[in-house]
Amino acid sequence: MDGVTGTGVRADARIVARADGRGGTALPVLDGDGPLALRRTRSAGREARVMVVGAMSGPLGGDRFSLTASVAEGARLHVGSAAATLALPGQAKGEARYDVRLDVADEAELHWLPEQLISARGSDLRVTTRAELAAGARLVLREEQVLGRTGEEPGRLTSRLTVRVAGRTVLDQQLACGPGAPGGWDGPAVLAGRRAVGQLLVVRPEYAVRPVEPQMLDECAALTPLAGPAALVTAVASDALRLRRLLDEALGRLS
């Protein structure tokens, strides 16, 4: 349910995916409005597919968005978005927040592949993504962030990604960029002047027995095994198109 408060827009969306008993995946809960409208698209085999269709601009200053996806045992879910998310300054003061919570059960699989998040000049957005996975769960998660539109300085963007498998934290990292962020975010040890940054996280039970080998995939992309059944690809690029190409190539190598 969404609405306007004195500090901005509040929007919540929820997806629940369950095995339908016939070899497919049902969506008993698909609830979202306004900036987080949800639409079911054509399924692919056992996998149900959902598109996030933003019906409003945002998030703007002071907005509070939350999106939850739960995938029950035996279900398969693919979530994408119809367009990039554009963080903009708003009339309300204060930072905007976008909170994502993902829960994946044993023998379930989630592909979380939204379009890019663009941080426009003057915006202030904090994004948190938290994934809780059972020991036998599978996850493919992509995050892409573009700092500013063409020829534009970025707004402030703080993003945190936390992933736990069977109650154990395998990844907990935060990146802050733009005005007011800690010094060094644009230096050679972080973005080195590039304006697109992304990561691809793949969780598969077999990685606990056969971890991936660490390697440089490109001068701007690296594959790293995590301390658990997971692998992380981190990439920076001059623009969103190049970043997507790097992450798509990495996913092809991991498939």
In the chain, domain spans: 2-254
Residue 186: pLDDT band with limits 50, 70, 90 = confident
What's the CA gap between 100 and 35, in Å, rounded?
14
- Phi/psi at 195 (nearest 5 deg)? -120, 10
Percent of the chain with pLDDT over 90: 73
Cβ(117)–Cβ(51) under 8 Å?
A: no
Closest CA relative to residue 233, chosen from 144, 118, 117, 125: 144
Taking 60 as the threshold, does the pLDDT of residue 209 lie above it? yes
- Matching residue, tokens 């497919």: 24
pLDDT for 222: 94
- What pLDDT is recorded for position 12? 94
Confidence of residue 34 (pLDDT cuts 50, 70, 90): confident
Q: What is the pLDDT of residue 33?
A: 81
pLDDT value, residue 55: 58
Residue 192's pLDDT band, with cuts at 50, 70 and 90, is confident
pLDDT for 1 beyond 50: no
Q: Is the pLDDT of residue 6 over 80?
A: no
Give the residue-averaged pLDDT of 101-121. 96
Q: Measured between alpha carbons, how far is 219 from 211 in angstroms, rounded to an integer?
A: 22
64-90 CB burial, b ≥16 within 10 A, e <16? bbbbbbbbbebbbbbbebeeebbbbeb
Residue-level pLDDT at 149 = 86
- Residue pair 70/79 in contact by the 8 Å Cβ criterion: no
Q: What is the mean pLDDT of the chain?
A: 91
Q: For residues 174 and 184, which has the higher predicted lDDT (pLDDT)?
A: 174
Instruction: Please tell me the pTM assigned to this model.
Output: 0.92
First to last CA, the chain: 37
Which runs of consecutive H residues, i.e. helices, occur in 10-160?
Answer: none
The whole-number pLDDT of residue 77 equals: 98
pLDDT tier for residue 3 given thresholds of 50, 70 and 90: low
